[in-house]
Amino acid sequence: MADVSLILASRRGHVVAPAGCGKTELIARSVASPVEKPTLILTHTTAGVAALRQRLKRDGVPASHYRLNTIAGWALWLISMFPTRAGFRQDPLAAPNYSEVQAAIGRLCQSGHITKELQASYGRLLVDEYQDCSVTQHSIVSGIANAIPTVIFGDPMQAIFGFGGDPLSDWHSEVVAAFPEIGRLSTPWRWSNAGADDLGQWLLGARDALSQGLSIDLRSCPNRIFWHPIGADINATITEQVRVQFDISRNSPNESILIVGDPIRAGSRHDYASRAAGVSVVEPVDFRDIVNAAENMDGLSGDALLQACIAFLIQVMTNVYGDRLQQRIQSIQAGRNRTPPTPQELAAIALFNHGGYPQAIAFLKSMASDRERRVYRHSAFNIMIEALTMAAGGSTELRSAIALLRERNRQAGRIVPSKAVGSTLLLKGLEAQHVVILDADQPGSAMSRQHLYVALTRGARSVHIFSRRPTLPA
């Protein structure tokens, strides 16, 4: 068991924190008491920062009690303060090279050359989601721990991120060696508070089994875990997945649903959202395909810009029918149309006839207002509208505007709708009343034990899981 007094008394250590067992509550309470110096709180993602900030604000913790950032963001700030000592200077106008920045800050923290500055600035360090820290990030944190009391929180069963050439720090040989265990959380508050203590206890048991290399039987918690077999007919499976999600929405209209889709093929998640009314896509923070779409629009006007806008809409909206729309434009322009033009067609014609970014914005908004169409990637649509608006003002190019907005969103974290589809990587750290896992044992990309555990623990009241077998991993 771990409590606030244990955290505050520890010079160095780690708390094992299974999903939904009160970790955020413990962190918030640990910084609530008056302190001489603020606590530095670091985590792995901007979504985690947003969640912690919201919780601290909700609990009334004064902002003077803490400094909250991602590890990467804090490293970027620190290198701007001590570029000479770090031996690396980041160009403030260039996109941050996070790997080089973090490597330089890791060396600086390990060197002890900023020990006095750390001790003067912070009373202690708390690090959340430590299982997702890379080797370089672990070097930063363990270096800080040489200067000020440090407690980290994490769960090796939720280690699903990867960093290419900078792998995750090994929990047992590196993390535990640097930060001995001082306690663990064992009460499944997320599920107890939702009136689903049976599901919470089942998930704790499933975590233990998975961590030992055993399998779990999805039929062993019949009131909360619902197994749906995947057959040979792909269309029938998709129809059943949408039906299950609709049934949850109908039976629990005011409750949230997270849908866990293919971790690799974003297009399959987009396809699901396009079929299931009311579901939106959780976007990756880099908005890669939307940035590409903006770059394809950059500097265009008239018909070329219209074509680029249609190509963008096909990625984020249902029933675009771009070929039909362009045929109608030609017909209307030539006076051959038998039916009057729709508002969407008039907006398209205004753009076609040498229109620029203002006309592109009007066209996109008009298409979104059409009841026959539906935007299912709202974040992507909105960031494009905002970028076009900035570019239309003449203060920046479109490609620069989209890059600026992407970085702003990266720092602010995501706003997740009540019914959303994403991958385990995108949904990790989020929770809803219900979760639907679309394919847990997909041939060639079956969920690992860690991904499976993360997916299962997103729903506080029910878990619907589609797989070929009821026992996972197979």
The pLDDT tens digits of the residues spanning 247-272 come to 999 999 999 999 999 988 889 999 99
Q: How far apart are CA 52 and CA 68, in angstroms?
A: 8
Which tens digits make up the pLDDT trace of 378-396?
Answer: 999 999 999 999 999 988 8
Predicted local confidence at residue 408, as pLDDT: 80
Q: Calculate mean pLDDT across residues 177-201.
A: 96
Read off the amino acid at residue 275: R
Contact call for residues 466 and 439 (beta carbons, < 8 A): yes
Q: What is the dihedral of CA 211, 212, 215, 219, to 10 degrees?
A: -70
Q: How far apart are CA 134 and CA 402, in angstroms?
A: 28
Exposure pattern of 328-355 as b/e (b: 16+ CB <10 Å)?
A: bbeebeeeeeeeebeebbbbbbbbbeeb
Which of 80-89, 300-309, 440-449 is predicted most confidently? 300-309
Which tens digits make up the pLDDT trace of 310-342?
Answer: 999 999 999 999 999 999 999 999 889 889 999
Q: Which class would CATH give 191-282+418-472?
A: alpha beta
Predicted local confidence at residue 98, as pLDDT: 84
- Average pLDDT of the residues of the chain: 93
Model confidence at 127: pLDDT above 80: yes
Counted residue by residue, the chain has a size of 474
pLDDT band at 411 (very low <50, low <70, confident <90, very high): low
Q: Calculate mean pLDDT across residues 74-99.
A: 84
Read off the amino acid at residue 99: S
The SS3 of residue 32 is: coil
Predicted TM-score (pTM) of this structure: 0.88
pLDDT band at 414 (very low <50, low <70, confident <90, very high): low
DSSP 90-149: --TTSPP-HHHHHHHHHHHHHHTTTHHHHHHH-SEEEES-GGG-BHHHHHHHHHHHTTS-
Share of the chain above pLDDT 70, in %: 97
CATH topology for 4-186 is: Rossmann fold (3.40.50)
Please tell me which residue, 94 or 265, carries the higher pLDDT value: 265
The CATH 3.40.50.300 domain(s) of the chain lie at 4-186, 191-282+418-472
Predicted local confidence at residue 413, as pLDDT: 65
Q: How far is CA 82 from CA 76, 78, 97, 106, 364, in A?
A: 10, 6, 16, 13, 46
- For residue 388, the surrounding DSSP H or E stretch is helix 378-392
Q: Calculate mean pLDDT across residues 197-217.
A: 97
Which tens digits make up the pLDDT trace of 15-39?
Answer: 999 999 999 999 999 999 888 999 9
Q: Calculate mean pLDDT across residues 404-418.
A: 78
Q: How far apart are CA 438 and CA 467, in angstroms?
A: 8
